[in-house]
Amino acid sequence: MSLQILLLGLFPAVMALAAASDLLTMTISNRLSIVLALGFFLAAVWIGMPAAEIGWHMVAALAVLAAAFGCFFFGWIGGGDAKLAAATALWFGFSHLMDYLLLAAVFGGALTLLILVLRQWPLPSIFARQPWIARLHAMNSGVPYGIALAIAALMVYPETVFIRTAALGY
């Protein structure tokens, strides 16, 4: 039962926390990425994932980390987003990585467009009193891309070996 809780609950819970944190504070704690990474290794060993496959998942995560830090270097995403994307890639490996990245790009683009459009309108005073809404509305503020990363991850996660193992027992 505890394996099922880990596999069914940890990943979605951390993704939801990352999205909420990014929305409210424009930051994603390193702790969340660390919990995801440690959770992956625990879950992978627990389901009996072969060491070579774990290695390929690590290669996928390192590839995403390298690309995401390139995006961070150019100011396109935040450092927390880069680390979250890499930790998420660790769970997906190459078998689900393209689905995740494509969905993250689509949702990230839609989120960015939505926020840019909303920033063109005056913020009602009732919302301006909320610091997180005012920060989100500010023209010089970034976009909480962690929301897009989390939505994409939650859409892809049900297709993974972890869910098959937890739900179907194989």
Q: What is the 3-state secondary structure (H, E, C) of the chain?
A: CHHHHHHHHHHHHHHHHHHHHHHHHCCCCHHHHHHHHHHHHHHHHHHCCCHHHHHHHHHHHHHHHHHHHHHHHCCCCCHHHHHHHHHHHHHHHHHHHHHHHHHHHHHHHHHHHHHHHHCCCCCCHHHHCCHHHHHHHCCCCCCCCHHHHHHHHHHHHHHCHHHHHHHHCC
Q: Residue 167: is its pLDDT beyond 70? A: no
pLDDT digits (tens, 9 = 90+) for 22-68: 999 999 999 999 999 999 999 999 889 999 999 999 999 999 999 99
**Mean of the per-residue pLDDT values of the chain:** 92
How many domains does the structure of the chain reveal? 1
Digit-coded pLDDT (tens) for 6-29: 667 899 999 999 999 999 999 999
* Percentage of the chain modeled with pLDDT above 70: 94
Give residue 25's domain range.
2-168
pTM above 0.85, yes or no: yes
